[in-house]
Structure 1
Amino acid sequence: MDDQVRSGSVRRSLASIVLGFELIVVFLATLVIFGLSDLPAWVTLGGGALLCLIMVATLGLLRYNWAYTIGWAIQVVIVATGFLNPAMFVVGALFAGMWVYCMITGSRIDRQNPDRPNKENS
């Protein structure tokens, strides 16, 4: 139980919002990269689908602290997709910045909230 984040966590709420919007953008970026690149369709669409599935799974696992590590890895992968389409460097950097802000701010708010016990291992 110590490995779980409490259900009312602000950090968890903010992380799910960022990953949810990022999921939509990754899906659309997959279609753009499919249309513009010379990569085989199975590579582009399969890689995009795999990344989307990982993001959906991470959204469901955010109750565990280790899922945030996967969230950080997702941010790195999305920035790295800029090598396939340079616009993704900008998009990835924007989402990574939002992720960092939400992790810092959400953790701070959770620590300052005296009404609920804090079970996070920050």
Structure 2
Amino acid sequence: MTDAPDAGAPAPAPRPRRARGLRELLGSIVLGFELIVVFLGALVLFGLKALPPAVALGGGAALVLLMIVAIGTLRWPVGVVLGWLVQLTVVAAGFLVPAFFIVGAIFTAMWTYCMIAAARIDRNKPAAPAENGTENP
């Protein structure tokens, strides 16, 4: 006797995906790109010996870890706060390496715009069809 499921049995319906707000989507995109830039920046700082290895790699790893946690928690307000903390930290890294002032300014501007615009769009967006029982044309 085999443990294979019955070939004629219908497959279980896939679980519906959780609706993600625009703030969560845009925030994760900005933090994801920033994560790549910070990771590569930490490697460059280590390779050029611009900072001690513990500061370059340890600080870079800590910041990357903070970004990963922020991306994972963006559905709650604490994720947005962690995102702001990431922006503040990247700008503050400019005191160690001035180039990070530019990187921090660019990503902070993108983060600010995404958080403000996405919150406004999410607030003005009509309810989804499943929530109010009607269909949007």
The interval holding the TM-score normalised by the smaller chain is 0.7 to 0.9
Share of identical aligned residues, percent?
54
Structure 2 residue 77 is the aligned partner of structure 1 residue 61: no
1:31 to 37, 43, 63: 43
Cα deviation per residue 1:3-62 (whole Å; 9 max; x = unaligned)? Answer: xxx842001100000000000000011112223345321222011001101111111111
Equivalent position of 2:93 in the other structure: 81
The amino acid that maps onto 1:51 is: L
Unaligned runs of 5+ in 2: 1-17, 132-137
Structure showing greater Rg: 2
Say whether 1:43 aligns with 2:55: yes
Q: CA RMSD in A?
A: 1.6
Query: Which structure: greater helix fraction?
Result: 1
Provide the C-alpha distance between the structure 2 equivalents of 1:107 and 1:37, rounded to a whole number of angstroms: 41
Q: Return the TM-score normalized by structure 1.
A: 0.84
- 4+ aligned runs moved over 4 Å, structure 1: none
Is the aligned partner of 1:95 residue 2:107? yes
How many residues in Structure 1 have an aligned counterpart in Structure 2? 112
Contact kept? 2:94, 2:100, Cα under 8 Å: yes
